[in-house]
Amino acid sequence: MKLSKRHIIFIIGLLSVYFSFLFFGRRPDFYLILLIGGIGVSLIAFLTILFGKGAGKSKLFWALILLLSVVLLQLAEPLLIRTSFIIYVRANDNHLREINGLLTSHPGTLHIYPDNITTKGMELGDLEIDRLKELRKEVDAYLIIKTDSTIYYGLSGFLDVRHGVSYRFRGKHNPAPHLIHRKLIGNWYY
């Protein structure tokens, strides 16, 4: 069987869908572009394969490739998403360490939003507040929350769906027992 242009485009679309999940945790905008683009390209290419010229066996073969790709994606998706968060933590290691160091040295809780910082039982100096605002931008987190045992970095979210990483610095206390936290590396969870 000879690979034609539509088969190559179909394969590129499928690979784009797989590759998109490596950006799930660290670049959600790029993740969506790759995912939607990959689905669209592979769907159009698959339809040209299915309804274009070609033998029935060839069409069945490419339908099986599509089915196998969907099954493999379902199996690989958790690993690819986990890998995207690990890449994020490693790429921002120095800034994350600095934030963690600043926040764990003070008791109390804190919320860092794009335009303000709220604290409860935590005293921060002006220089520390300014530095935390800079670092929030550097790590590209829309929100940072510090509790008595965890620092959460919100990376993307809308309405009630949030994606981010958590750094646990004290014990095994789960600050949100209704949520499932999966281990990344070291004290990092997602």
| Most confident among 33-42, 114-123, 137-146, 167-176 (mean pLDDT) | 33-42
Average pLDDT over residues 2-15: 94
| Most confident among 10-19, 21-30, 154-163, 179-188 (mean pLDDT) | 10-19
Please check whether residues 114 and 41 belong to one and the same domain: no
Please check whether residues 82 and 16 belong to one and the same domain: yes
Please check whether residues 22 and 69 belong to one and the same domain: yes
Q: How far apart are CA 38 and CA 15, in angstroms?
A: 7
User: Among residues 90, 123, 153, which one ends one of the domains?
Assistant: 90
- 26-82 confidence digits (pLDDT tens): 888 899 999 999 999 999 999 999 998 888 898 999 999 999 999 999 999 999 999
Please check whether residues 40 and 108 belong to one and the same domain: no
Please check whether residues 140 and 179 belong to one and the same domain: yes
Asked whether 190 and 80 are in contact (CB, 8 A), the reply is no
- 149-183 confidence digits (pLDDT tens): 889 999 987 777 788 898 988 755 555 554 567 87
Please check whether residues 64 and 127 belong to one and the same domain: no
Average pLDDT over residues 14-34: 93
User: Among residues 29, 55, 90, which one ends one of the domains?
Assistant: 90
Sheet holding 143-146, edge to edge: 117-120, 109-112, 143-146, 150-158, 161-168, 188-189
Please check whether residues 122 and 81 belong to one and the same domain: no
Domain that holds residue 56: 5-90
User: Among residues 90, 116, 144, which one ends one of the domains?
Assistant: 90
- Number of domains composing the chain: 2
C-alpha atoms less than 13 angstroms from C-alpha of 149 in its C-beta half-sphere? 8
Please check whether residues 126 and 77 belong to one and the same domain: no
89-93, 123-127, 151-155, 166-170 — which is least confidently predicted?
166-170
pTM of the entire predicted model: 0.83
Please check whether residues 162 and 74 belong to one and the same domain: no
